[in-house]
Structure 1
Amino acid sequence: MSNKKWPTNLSISDSNPMLSEQNRSILRQSIEPFNTDGQVVAYWKFSKEYVKSGTIETGDLVLQDASGNGNDLVMQTFGDSRSVETENILKWSNSTYGNASNGQSLEFVNDKHAPVGCYFSTSDNAMINKEKFKEGFTIEAIVKLPPNFEPNKHSWMGILTRQGQASAINKLAGEKEILSTLSISNLREVQWTSHPTNLNVNETNWSFSLESKEEWYYISVVNDGNQTKLYVNGITDFRNTEAQVVGIDAVEGFGWNVGASMWSNEIDTLFSGKIQEIRITNRAIKREGWLMKSSQEGYTANGTNEQLALITASKNYNFLFLPDPQKTVRYQPEIFFTQMEWIADQKDSHNIAMTAFLGDMVDQSHAPEEWIVSDLGVEILDKQNIPYLVIAGNHDYGIGDPYLIYYGPDRYSEKEYYKGSSPSGFSSYGIIEAGSYHYLFLMVDMQHMMEDITWAKQIVKNHPNLPTILVSHEILAIAGDGISPQDTDRGNMLWNELVNEYDQIFMTVSGHNHGSVHRIMKNANGNKVIQMLVDYQSSFAGGNGWMRFAEFDEEMNKINFRSYSPWVENLPEEERTYFDVKHLTSPNDQFEIEINFKERFSFYIQSLS
């Protein structure tokens, strides 16, 4: 790879300035919040015990401020109050964080498309309406997402929102249509975005995606009068703003909403799910003073730290798919290096025949240090002669084609399994022997798909007798319900031009769209095609080292799919957080698919050309 334009002597050491402390360490539970004490400004407990007046049924419910400061919440109805759906929008629930036997919560059943919705706002004379929190603040919320969370119904739903918009106080940069809001994104991330008193633009803190819809989450936003951190179940990630942030600006005459976001002074998305408590203080408070002093016991519902075999019989073999590593490469390279070292060490013991990278090898194509980190990691495989192939993602394209400098044809010049590339240099293919077969891996570039598709067709025409796995950065997406696979334009093109017509293509794998999902399609010959999307970049720690294994079991005629993190495996138990699990166990992360190899690969004739 002598044509690289950037230095490659970056060492993997804490002292190297190109790998700063920020880039080397994800802020985990061990990082303490700011050590100051705050006084409670407002404390809302969503329990019948704190009903001041009215009822849900009559639409005039008022909840008393448990702090005694008079910041009462008044029920509001948005839309057509005569709709029959009004009866089910709000209801009391006995479900609580930690399943406390004596607690209650309030369930919101709002929907963007419903004719009516309900939320709460602070009373006109509430003292919190004028508070600007210039000495800091702590916002705590105990919430549960709806079991049917769908982006088209619930994305950007507000938990807590300051009414008004920044343009009213002459702040015209950033999102001037809002002031401050704690909300849930389309990817189920918690977002705190706020216009502080000292800046003319809003600053934003993000969490990772809240993967489970079945558990409670304790959210805290802590500001010490200077910087802000966002925590989920006592744990923070790398997505905190680094800006100096003082206070939460306000517009005179406007209050706060609970259960509704706003845009341009209009109600935007109403909350759906359950809220148990919200508490706000006028300074940062120590961890020991939080409502929930530690995360829930055990680990997230969609994972386990039990020992699960990645290969179940010595004759079986694995194909390994490494989803979009962009966030780990950028923010915590040691996760990426740990993945590479594990593959190099475990290739033989786990019969890993091929590793395929699903694209986005970096997060910023213009950042040389990210390409260097990515290159250093993959060179671990080179040194051990580990078979791998790489495809570009949308983050990998840039001036001077840095992807080709690092992952173009020259990289594979001495690798026997590598068989060639497209005229653009971005698409490629390789042939590898595993079990009873030789498999063809066809890597088709997303940006150059139109010009490379003719080349790709010729490759499969030239190898009609080899089982083929097609990899491209984008093939599948996830539908609005958050769980179902959805077609994309690029995926449709690949299906129509390649997959459907050429029977030897029995699997497609892609990343790009956040989350994981799979499905089985039937091609023109009526045979199964497995399609899989896997992308963990919006999950905790930018993917936390999770990789997708496909264990081929020819004797049992099935493929076992598992998601495993060697990074978490290597973490000392006392350093693991609630979200650190070795194995993801949701139905789209751990599953098996039956496949009669002899029948499905009846076309097979060994060919290495």
Structure 2
Amino acid sequence: MLALDWRPSAKGIAWAREVIAGHPRTPVILTTHELVHADHEGEAARFSDHGQWLWDELIADHDQIFLTLNGHYWPPARTVRENKAGHDVHLHITNYQDRYYGGAGMIRLYRFDLARHTVDVRTLSPWILDRADDHLNELERGEIERTSSQDYFSVPIDFEQRFAGFAPTAPRPARPASRLVIPGTVAYWRFDQGGRDGAPVEDSVRITDHSGRGNHLTKVAVPGSPADALSWSDEHHPDQPGHGSLSFHGDKSPCAAPICARPTVLR
């Protein structure tokens, strides 16, 4: 979180650049007093004159900045601009001083869901929520939680892809089978210690059961199956403990039936 003051000077911008350069792999959320605004509720935000200067002098050149928050104007609004690296920067104005009691203690919550590649945004008043059991007037009830499209929304961001230019995710290394077998495991097989990528699996190959229960796998080819019906593969899920797999080739043999396959199975 990089916090700038209102109308930062040239020295302030130079300081911000130094901070970002000193943390070259860190995603940046920038907060400042004035940046974007909208004249009417529901409009897309746009730069103020000062905001355009701040974009040109700092934000557009620094790909690490992916989200900005500002106030000064109202109503709340948001927009997206493309920086010089060709990536989206999300620009949000969050200001409720025109609302009940100068904003009713309104706060904005940003929930970063890395599994869903989404930022979920809510706007609510803890001050009014704390008094929910009391008799609330009509204005207070309307400020408990803001639900317009500018106050309650989700922003899709593929974090790994967005930050790849400055903070690429290192592939997770393979983990030994001994670390994966837990009490009660009936069978645990790995396909990362076989032949080269694309090579057929030989009939003599046995896939070891690392659980210790002896449930090993052996290849059984149905008569007529091609030799390469089952092959070794280097493909694997990025989080897979073993960096290898088997590739089944479902070749069809000519026959009278609509679908006639001669599969290779592991037994």
Q: TM-score band (shorter)? A: 0.5 to 0.7
1:109-165 CA distance string (max 9 Å, x none): xxxxxxxxxxxxxxxxxxxxxxxxxxxxxxxxxxxxxxxxxxxxxxxxxxxxxxxxx
Where does structure 1 differ by over 3 angstroms across 4 or more consecutive aligned residues? 479-482
1:340-366 CA distance string (max 9 Å, x none): xxxxxxxxxxxxxxxxxxxxxxxxxxx
What does residue 26 of structure 1 align with? none
Q: Does 1:592 align with 2:154?
A: yes
Separation in 2, partners of 1:502, 1:534: 23
Gaps of 5+ in 1: 1-440
**Contact 2:117–2:156 (Cα < 8 Å) also in 1:** yes
More strand by share: 1
Q: Displacement of 1:605 after TM fit?
A: 6.7
Q: Does 1:490 align with 2:50?
A: yes
Q: Displacement of 1:565 after TM fit?
A: 1.1
Q: Displacement of 1:465 after TM fit?
A: 1.2
Q: Displacement of 1:464 after TM fit?
A: 2.1
What does residue 455 of structure 1 align with? 15
Question: CA distance change for structure 1 residues 490 and 538 in 2, over 3 Å: closer, same or farther?
Answer: same
Aligned equivalent of 1:583, options 145, 153, 157:
145
Q: Does 1:604 align with 2:178?
A: no
Residue 491 of structure 1 aligns to a residue whose secondary structure is helix
Separation in 1, partners of 2:41, 2:30: 26
Question: CA distance change for structure 1 residues 482 and 595 in 2, over 3 Å: closer, same or farther?
Answer: closer
Q: Displacement of 1:519 after TM fit?
A: 1.1
Question: CA distance change for structure 1 residues 480 and 517 in 2, over 3 Å: closer, same or farther?
Answer: closer
What does residue 514 of structure 1 align with? 74
Residue 139 of structure 2 aligns to a residue whose secondary structure is coil
The one-letter code of the counterpart of 1:604 is A
**Contact 2:38–2:44 (Cα < 8 Å) also in 1:** yes
**Contact 1:446–1:490 (Cα < 8 Å) also in 2:** no
1:290-311 CA distance string (max 9 Å, x none): xxxxxxxxxxxxxxxxxxxxxx
Q: Displacement of 1:477 after TM fit?
A: 1.4
Query: How do residues 456-605 of structure 1 correspond to structure 2 at under 5 angstroms?
Result: 456-479=16-39, 483-580=43-140, 581-602=143-164, 603-604=166-167
The count of corresponding residues between Structure 1 and Structure 2 is 166
Q: Displacement of 1:458 after TM fit?
A: 1.7
Q: Displacement of 1:601 after TM fit?
A: 1.4
Separation in 2, partners of 1:572, 1:509: 29
Residue 529 of structure 1 aligns to a residue whose secondary structure is strand
The one-letter code of the counterpart of 1:526 is G
1:178-202 CA distance string (max 9 Å, x none): xxxxxxxxxxxxxxxxxxxxxxxxx
Residue 105 of structure 2 aligns to a residue whose secondary structure is coil
**Contact 1:499–1:523 (Cα < 8 Å) also in 2:** yes
Separation in 2, partners of 1:481, 1:542: 17
Separation in 2, partners of 1:566, 1:551: 17
Residue 98 of structure 2 aligns to a residue whose secondary structure is coil
Separation in 2, partners of 1:572, 1:589: 21
TM-score by length of 2: 0.58
Query: How do residues 127-526 of structure 1 correspond to structure 2 at under 5 angstroms?
Result: 441-479=1-39, 483-526=43-86
Question: CA distance change for structure 1 residues 447 and 529 in 2, over 3 Å: closer, same or farther?
Answer: closer
Point out which structure has higher relative CO (alpha carbons under 8 A, 6+ apart): 1
Residue 461 of structure 1 aligns to a residue whose secondary structure is helix
1:74-128 CA distance string (max 9 Å, x none): xxxxxxxxxxxxxxxxxxxxxxxxxxxxxxxxxxxxxxxxxxxxxxxxxxxxxxx
Identity %: 30
Question: CA distance change for structure 1 residues 572 and 467 in 2, over 3 Å: closer, same or farther?
Answer: closer
Residue 548 of structure 1 aligns to a residue whose secondary structure is strand
Q: Displacement of 1:481 after TM fit?
A: 7.2
**Contact 2:39–2:75 (Cα < 8 Å) also in 1:** no
Q: Displacement of 1:482 after TM fit?
A: 6.4
Separation in 1, partners of 2:109, 2:25: 25
Residue 78 of structure 2 aligns to a residue whose secondary structure is strand
1:410-459 CA distance string (max 9 Å, x none): xxxxxxxxxxxxxxxxxxxxxxxxxxxxxxx1111124433311111122
Separation in 1, partners of 2:10, 2:144: 39
Separation in 2, partners of 1:535, 1:477: 10
Q: Displacement of 1:493 after TM fit?
A: 1.6
**Contact 2:160–2:168 (Cα < 8 Å) also in 1:** no
The one-letter code of the counterpart of 2:3 is M
The one-letter code of the counterpart of 1:479 is D
**Contact 2:107–2:123 (Cα < 8 Å) also in 1:** yes
Question: CA distance change for structure 1 residues 447 and 497 in 2, over 3 Å: closer, same or farther?
Answer: closer
1:238-295 CA distance string (max 9 Å, x none): xxxxxxxxxxxxxxxxxxxxxxxxxxxxxxxxxxxxxxxxxxxxxxxxxxxxxxxxxx
Residue 154 of structure 2 aligns to a residue whose secondary structure is strand
TM-score by length of 1: 0.26
**Contact 1:479–1:486 (Cα < 8 Å) also in 2:** no
The one-letter code of the counterpart of 2:5 is D
The one-letter code of the counterpart of 1:462 is G
**Contact 2:41–2:76 (Cα < 8 Å) also in 1:** no
